[in-house]
Chain A
Amino acid sequence: MLLELDNVTVAYGRIEALHGISLHVDEGEIVALIGANGAGKTTTMRAISGIRALAGGAIRFAGEDISRLRADLRVGRGLCQSPEGRQIFPGMTVLENLDMGAYTRRDSAGIAADLERVFGLFPRLAERRKQAGGTLSGGEQQMLAVGRALMSRPKLLLLDEPSMGLAPLVIKQIFDIVTEINQQGTTVLLVEQNAQQALSRAHRGYVLETGRIVKEGTGQELLHDPAVKEAYLGVA
């Protein structure tokens, strides 16, 4: 088990946003976390990356309890997030944004190799390497956010809503690359509103509803589950 959430509770003030979530991600998997707006998907991601403190429960990563570890130190452990809304550094060039992903690393040869790898996955970023991040299109910014997270050479890549606000063709492109990254050996935890794309790519999935996990299964099982179909896939 690479990542394990054990009965995790998160509260904003007195209001509990997550009511005891338990899930796990095994090495080599793509795991999708789907749910409606406000179900707690992003809160779960923020708890995993350490931006949000836990009110209860535990998070273990690669056998270590990281529940109280500072967010910036989790990156060095092999956890890196491409956050919701992409959060590109607008005033930095594409290259500098990617370098930010490698902030915790010191192996310049390895960084250079990973840079080539990211440029291989996203040729558009190579073309625009000197351009300010804030001037990229939405799809390009999403590619940059994923590439930036990859630059930390994560064991587990956390992707929060990579399809948000993008055209269908670009969404497919992004998910193709996520699959490719996974096949190259990176484990992926994916949070998505676009349940169709997410579940068809994922090995396993969890359905989150108002801060609780209400269903879990393989991607295909969930994709064909009548309740999931009705609630998240827009099929009656």
Chain B
Amino acid sequence: MNFDELFGHFGQHTVDGLSKGAIYALIALGYTLVYGVLRLINFAHSEVFVVGTFAVLGAWTAFGMQDRPGAGQAILFLLIGLIAAAVASGGTALALERIAYRPLRRRNAPPLVFLITAIGLSLVLVEILGLLLPRLVGGVFPTLFGRERQIVGMPTIIEQKPLITIGDTSITNVQAIVFFSALLMMAMLDWFINRTRYGRGVRAVAQNPETAALMGVNQDRVIMLIFVLGGVMAGAAALLWSVRFGFTQSSLGFVLGLKAFTAAVLGGIGNLRGALLGGLFLGLVEVYAATLYTSAWEDVVAFVVLIVVLMFRPTGLLGESLGRARA
């Protein structure tokens, strides 16, 4: 166990962990929103995220982005990427609700059927994305592995440079962008849910769907709204992922989705601020674990931490649902 490295560069590892966790947190919001209202774990949400990375890749390709564009162009491409990912991910999430989940609700399907459907949708989307990827890339970008399950690199939009250096801890420009954009997106969502009329409708359905209807809330519209909101957050995460890591693959969602779901559960599923806390916590734990042991162990440690937290706090760190969340 490499304690010297961990404590010698503790600040640096903390910065790395927070910027990693911010992406988990953004994806976790999608799980938590849907769970908070429908008590459904939407396992296909991981693919909603992957669709976003494909949209970023597709949009950047279509608009002919080169490696390391100038500052003005970079901002333009960030914006194009955000719009493409938000539309693609939000649209996919909405389509899942309309095509798969709503018909099941109409038939009063038991919870297990929803769960199996979610897992099935996830698998279907992975395969569709796998078929789509070669066409989308069209040979423009180098594939790093064989044709199936290929990893496709994206052009670098922002070159990583240290932005601030304090002692031997440096925060890169990319880390700062990822962390603060994620925080901004979450703050906007939090404001929307807690301060607006539509947000109040969402909380009403989460707390008591029948009474919400008695107050004139259209439940189907609220459900569509939460799927779109979760999708847009996943789209934003997809853009940040593309900026930070610069690659995608059709099966990218499996481990990442599992991590984001873990983050949601860690923080208290159904709780928006819990998703933030859980994501950042998980990011930190992973980076610390990778430093202490080796990066091969980070997933093991992440899930061990989840199990330990749930043993002592079965409802997660913050542990209140979206329904119960304070005003």
A residues whose Cβ falls under 8 Å from a Cβ of B: 49-51, 70-73, 75-76, 80-81, 83, 87, 89-93, 96, 99-101, 103-104, 132, 148, 152
Complex A-B: 9 CB contacts under 8 Å: A72-B219, A87-B214, A89-B204, A90-B323, A92-B327, A100-B200, A101-B215, A104-B215, A152-B216
Q: Given A92-B327, A93-B327, A96-B327, A72 and B213 touching (CB < 8 A)?
A: yes
Q: Given A91-B323, A91-B326, A83 and B215 touching (CB < 8 A)?
A: no
Q: Given A72-B219, A91-B324, A49 and B214 touching (CB < 8 A)?
A: yes
Q: Given A90-B324, A91-B324, A96-B327, A51 and B203 touching (CB < 8 A)?
A: no
Rounded to whole Å, the gap between the CB of B219 and the closest CB of chain A is 7
Contact B215–A51 (Cβ < 8 Å): no
Considering the complex of A and B, which 10 residue pairs feature the smallest CB-CB distances, nearest first? A75-B216, A104-B216, A87-B211, A71-B213, A91-B324, A93-B327, A89-B207, A100-B215, A103-B216, A72-B216
Residue among A49, A132, A152 making CB contact with B326, cutoff 8 Å: A132
Interface of A is mostly: mixed
B208 partner residues in chain A, CB cutoff 8 A: 87, 89
A81 partner residues in chain B, CB cutoff 8 A: 214
Residue of B nearest to A82 (CB): B214
Give complex CA distance A80, B217 in Å.
Answer: 12
Give complex CA distance A50, B218 in Å.
Answer: 13
Give complex CA distance A131, B255 in Å.
Answer: 42
Contact B324–A99 (Cβ < 8 Å): no
State whether the Cβ of B201 lies closer than 8 Å to any Cβ in chain A: yes
State whether the Cβ of B151 lies closer than 8 Å to any Cβ in chain A: no
B324 partner residues in chain A, CB cutoff 8 A: 90-91
Rounded to whole Å, the gap between the CB of B92 and the closest CB of chain A is 27
Interface membership of chain B positions 302-327, coded 1 if the CB is closer than 8 angstroms to chain A and 0 otherwise:
00000000000000000010011111
Give complex CA distance A99, B204 in Å.
Answer: 11
Q: Given A49-B214, A71-B214, A132-B326, A91 and B219 touching (CB < 8 A)?
A: no
Size category of the B interface is 20 to 34
In chain B between 204 and 228, which residues have their CB closer than 8 angstroms to a CB of chain A?
A: 204, 207-208, 210-219
Contact A92–B213 (Cβ < 8 Å): no
Rounded to whole Å, the gap between the CB of B37 and the closest CB of chain A is 13
Q: Given A91-B324, A91-B327, A92-B207, A103 and B214 touching (CB < 8 A)?
A: no
State whether the Cβ of B197 lies closer than 8 Å to any Cβ in chain A: yes
Give complex CA distance A92, B207 in Å.
Answer: 9
Contact B210–A87 (Cβ < 8 Å): yes
A104 partner residues in chain B, CB cutoff 8 A: 215-216
B326 partner residues in chain A, CB cutoff 8 A: 91, 132
Contact A148–B215 (Cβ < 8 Å): yes
Contact B213–A103 (Cβ < 8 Å): no
Contact A103–B327 (Cβ < 8 Å): no
Contact B211–A103 (Cβ < 8 Å): no
Give complex CA distance A50, B207 in Å.
Answer: 19
